Copies of this chain bind each other. A is one copy, B any other.
Amino acid sequence: MDGDAIAARRIAVLLEYDGTAYCGSQYQENGPSIQSELEAAVNNLTSQSVRAAFAGRTDAGVHALGQVAAFDVSSRLTAAEVARGLNHFLPPDIVVRQARDAAANFDPRRHATRRLYRYRIVNLPMRPAIDRGRVWHVAKPLDIVAMQRAATALEGAHDFAAFAPPFDGRTQRTLQRCEVRARCEQLSIEMEAQAFLPHQVRRTVGPLVEIGLGRMTQEALEAALVAATPSSIGPTAPACGLYLVKVTYDGFTFDPSDSGSE
């Protein structure tokens, strides 16, 4: 509007989304993605074409309570105004919970020091209606104690090759936490690590549920972990139960007072 050049700045956003309608977090040719919706909203708000980088890749149907993305934009709007403005243009199933300015070199993926995923299961004979698409429905009764014991055995530093498709790179990871909690028929499995292999969470939840159903032993799980053969353990839990809950950085946080739903 006026002739002054506005310097570009890097803005980081904390995103919540229902992934049901999207082909994933990253841009894809074959359908709408969280990235394409975010970039379109930035374009609507600022008339600028930006490329957004994401902390974690989430697959089609996977949800987020605390995905982190960043993009460079020239704007006189405050970060809070950017958040409100983007929410005006974003569809109802995506929301910017917070926005803040970040260092020019802030990389939401490479600078992450920890990622927390939660997998939700409903263990009832009948399928859920209200929570459909947001939980994995397991109809037969699960042995929670067996699942908890198996989850604990996966914690620590291991070669997780068995829990991922063939992967071009190191498959050692440190699983800082793998915890199964149950409250009535609602289960949640929380997994925390600096970084995960592709599909690692869903490929861990699948075997844990097999163990809970009595169809796999803890010994088989541990043997697969030790053998570390790619893709050697299954099945993969469905996308709809998975949530990227929180991404942690050294020296960079969003306002914790507004992160109540994690």
Q: Interface on A for B, CB 8 Å cutoff?
A: 16-18, 63, 65, 83, 87, 92-98, 124-130, 132-134, 184-186, 258, 260-261
Contacts and interface: CB of A to CB of B under 8 A. Distances in A.
Contact of A184 (B95, B125, B260): B260
B260 A127 contact: no
A93 B132 contact: yes
Contact of A126 (B18, B93, B96, B130): B96
Secondary structure class of chain A's binding surface, majority of residues: loop
Given A124-B258, A186-B261, A132 B92 contact: yes
Contacts of A184: 260-261
Number of this chain's copies in the complex: 2
Contacts of A18: 129-130, 132
B97 A185 contact: no
A261 B127 contact: no
13 contacts: A16-B128, A16-B129, A17-B130, A18-B129, A63-B130, A87-B126, A87-B127, A92-B129, A96-B126, A97-B126, A98-B126, A124-B258, A184-B260
A118 to B, nearest CB: 12
B83 A126 contact: yes
A98 to B, nearest CB: 8
Contacts of A124: 97, 258, 260-261
Q: Kindly list the 3 A-B residue pairs having the minimum CB-CB distance in the complex, ordered from nearest.
A: A184-B260, A95-B129, A185-B260
Contacts of A261: 124, 184-186
Contacts of A186: 260-261
Given A185-B260, A261-B184, A130 B92 contact: no
